[in-house]
Amino acid sequence: MAIAVGVCDGLNLGQNARAALITRALPEMIRVGTLMGGKVETFYGLSGLGDLLATCTSPLSRNYQVGYQLAQGKTLDRILANLQGTAEGVNTTQVLIQLAAQKQISVPIAQQVYRLLSGQISPQAAVEALMERELKPEAHGNPYDREQS
């Protein structure tokens, strides 16, 4: 999610776009996390929403830096070569996409990040793909619902 928000900021889309992206990221995280046995309420606490906000809004976040620099036109190889530390999201995105496919769970943000990291799509096209999605309800009564978000 921090990679996606870094792209958003790197493209200078503004605070409203950033807020919308983070808001849509939380239910996506809840769908995956609860499928893996996590409790919904955990995602609304420090280890869920708190971490999401910290990693998505700090220029010190390595995942955020990756997204921001991709939006600035740098290659992933160049970014990773100059990064101090590891951006875990670069490697875990592929695992998440595989899990989501196996479990048939919707992860639209992660899907666009995966496409971006694998060179299938530009940062601008990734954002456009997310913005073109059909509007859906923000609240989810059932975190396993595969049709929403």
| pLDDT of 63 higher than 70 | yes
CA distances from 56 to 33, 40, 117, 125 (A): 18, 20, 17, 20
Q: Are 97 and 114 in contact (CB under 8 A)?
A: yes
Rounded Cα–Cα distance for residues 50 and 42 (Å): 10
pLDDT in tens, 72-95: 999 999 999 999 999 999 999 999
Confidence (pLDDT) at 136: 60
User: Whole-prediction pTM value?
Assistant: 0.88
Residue 48 has what DSSP assignment? Answer: I
Domains, the chain, ranges and CATH? Answer: 2-131 (1.10.1040.10)
